[in-house]
Amino acid sequence: MKKAIFTWIAFCSIIWSSCSNKEQIHISGQIDNPGNVKVVAFYEGERKLDSVYLADGNRFKFEREATQPRLLSIAVGNNKYPVIVTPGEKLTFVTDLHSPDDYRVEGSELTAELKAFAPYKRRKEFVQDSLQSAFAKATLGKSAEEIESLRFDFLTEFKSKLADYTKQAVSFAQKQKNLAGFYAMSTLDPEIAEAEIIAYAEDIENEFLDNRYVSEFKEEAKKLKRLAVGQPAPDFESFTPDNKAVRLSDFKGKYVLVDFWASWCAPCRQENPNIVKQYRAFKDKGFTVLGVSLDSNPGSWMRAIKDDGLEWTQVSDLQAWSSDLVLSYRIKAIPTSYLLDPEGRILAKNLRGKELESFLQKTLN
């Protein structure tokens, strides 16, 4: 009987160990030629979960309790590697920092799928870096007008290149109805792939319910949808320099550029001559502008209106970044603009320079 009891205890111990393993995520691996890198860090989205030191042989191990698959990033120096870890699986990760893109993963089919997507993401990052570098060189010694013209050309090419990446990510996600597909969609730029992000978030509304990273993505997509192209722009009331109340809805029946700017914002002031030009060219074709200032000093605001020759309606609550409009219109930087149709729906966002002129010509001519 005593022997049977100990046998049963041993059996239970084995079973418990097995169950315990299934409630943990496990990553181990090796970093060859780490140089000055001493630590491997683990992220979920932008949130750092933990970090571990490299041990003898430049090896590491990371374990954490979990009840479902988790999409993480392994950060090694300046390199980040997406992995999907499932409770019960033992994922092995090996890379050589002499050639960091050539890494190896074992023990996770979903991470292997992520690795197949990695070349697309690397290509996107290469294109971004190349275009930014080329733009910086091309604008050296150029005037503000020449820089704005170059910006339009580079922005057009940038959007075209990222549109290709968007198609690749969407295609990958359609084939991978799992966290690997989610990862691909999470790398998209909302400025380029707004509609695709919103549609995907709605498709996975009832999936990955306990995954914090996915939940954050869904919440962000809902906020994005509120101000997406095709949605009605949130109405608001503000005040002109002579304290007259003005509502956005007062402008229904016209195409309206809602321009968020400030007297202290150099890029805003540089763009103002272009907006003046477009206003004069299209004001008789059903186009107008509503300037919304994030100033706090009424004197500076009114001087800038006069100095820049801004002929359209101007409003401000003089609360600067504390204005309620900063939250309701999700303004993270200025200039920010929304072009609305006569029904008050959002047609386009953040059009500047030639891009604004081109859009107005196509829409109003």
pLDDT tens digits for 70-107? Answer: 999 999 999 999 999 999 899 999 999 999 989 999 99
Going by the DSSP 8-state scheme, the letter that residue 232 receives in this structure is B
Judge if 244 and 359 occupy the same domain. Answer: yes
If pLDDT is split at 50, 70 and 90, which confidence band does 211 have? confident
Judge whether residue 286 has pLDDT over 60.
yes
Q: What is the mean pLDDT of residues 210-234?
A: 93
Judge if 34 and 90 occupy the same domain. Answer: yes
Residue 232, domain member (yes or no): no
What's the pLDDT tens digit per position in 291-345?
Answer: 999 999 999 999 999 999 999 999 999 999 999 999 999 999 999 999 999 999 9
User: 346: which 2 tokens?
Assistant: 């959002």
Judge whether residue 15 has pLDDT over 50.
no
Q: Is residue 317 helix, strand or coil?
A: coil
The predicted pLDDT at position 207 comes to 92
Residue 10, domain member (yes or no): no
Judge if 312 and 351 occupy the same domain. Answer: yes
Q: What is the mean pLDDT of residues 270-289?
A: 96
What's the pLDDT tens digit per position in 236-250?
Answer: 999 999 999 999 999
Which residues, in sequence order, are bridge partners of residue 232? 345
The predicted pLDDT at position 219 comes to 94
Q: What is the mean pLDDT of residues 33-45?
A: 93
The predicted pLDDT at position 9 comes to 36
Judge if 251 and 350 occupy the same domain. Answer: yes
Domain boundary residue among 226, 257, 287?
A: 226
Whether the link from the prior residue into 234 is cis, omega within 30° of 0, is no
Domain boundary residue among 180, 204, 226?
A: 226
The predicted pLDDT at position 317 comes to 96
- Total number of domains constituting the chain: 3
Residue 252, domain member (yes or no): yes
For residue 185, which of 161, 146, 220, 160 has the smallest C-alpha distance? 220
Between the CA of residue 71 and those of 242, 255, 275, what are the distances in Å?
Answer: 54, 43, 44
Domain assignment of residue 344, given as a range: 237-364
Domain boundary residue among 72, 87, 107?
A: 107
Q: What is the mean pLDDT of residues 203-221?
A: 91
User: 1: which 2 tokens?
Assistant: 């009987």
Q: What is the mean pLDDT of residues 52-68?
A: 92
Q: What is the mean pLDDT of residues 42-54?
A: 91
Contact 159, 131 (CB under 8 A): no
E-only strand ranges, the chain: 24-32, 39-44, 47-53, 59-65, 70-76, 79-85, 90-96, 104-106, 237-239, 245-247, 255-261, 287-293, 313-315, 336-340, 346-349
Q: What is the mean pLDDT of residues 149-164?
A: 81
The predicted pLDDT at position 43 comes to 92
How many angstroms separate the CA atoms of 80 and 288, rounded?
46
If pLDDT is split at 50, 70 and 90, which confidence band does 11 have? very low
Alpha-helical segments (H) within 204-255:
212-226
How many angstroms separate the CA atoms of 316 and 336, rounded?
15
Q: What is the mean pLDDT of residues 188-207?
A: 94
For residue 111, which of 44, 171, 180 has the smallest C-alpha distance? 180
The predicted pLDDT at position 112 comes to 93
Judge if 67 and 129 occupy the same domain. Answer: no
Judge whether residue 224 has pLDDT over 90.
yes
How many angstroms separate the CA atoms of 213 and 86, rounded?
15
Which CATH number goes with the domain that contains 290?
3.40.30.10
Judge if 64 and 177 occupy the same domain. Answer: no
- Give the number of other Cβ atoms within 10 Å of residue 28's Cβ: 16
Q: What is the mean pLDDT of the chain?
A: 90
